[in-house]
Amino acid sequence: MENMTQRALTTKIGRRSFLKMAAVAGAFGATSAFASGNVTRAATEEEVKNPFPGSKKVKTICTACSVGCGIIAEVQNGVWVRQEVAQDHPISLGGHCCKGADMIDMVRSEVRLKYPMVKEKGQWKRISWDEATDRITKKLEDLRVKSGPDAVQFLGSAKMSTEQAYYFRKFAAMFGTNNTDHQARI
Residues that bind ligand SF4 (CB under 6 A): 62, 64-65, 67-69, 92, 96-97, 99-100
d(CA 75, CA 82): 7
The smaller minimum CB distance to ligand SF4, of residues 62 and 172, is found at 62
Q: How far is the CB of 99 from ligand SF4 (least distance, A)?
A: 4
The smaller minimum CB distance to ligand SF4, of residues 15 and 57, is found at 57
The smaller minimum CB distance to ligand SF4, of residues 82 and 99, is found at 99
Q: How far is the CB of 38 from ligand SF4 (least distance, A)?
A: 40
Side-chain-side CA neighbours of 83 within 13 Å: the count stands at 24
Q: How far is the CB of 103 from ligand SF4 (least distance, A)?
A: 7
DSSP one-letter code for 42: P
Helices marked H in 14-161: 15-39, 45-49, 98-101, 103-108, 129-147
d(CA 159, CA 70): 14
Q: How far is the CB of 161 from ligand SF4 (least distance, A)?
A: 11
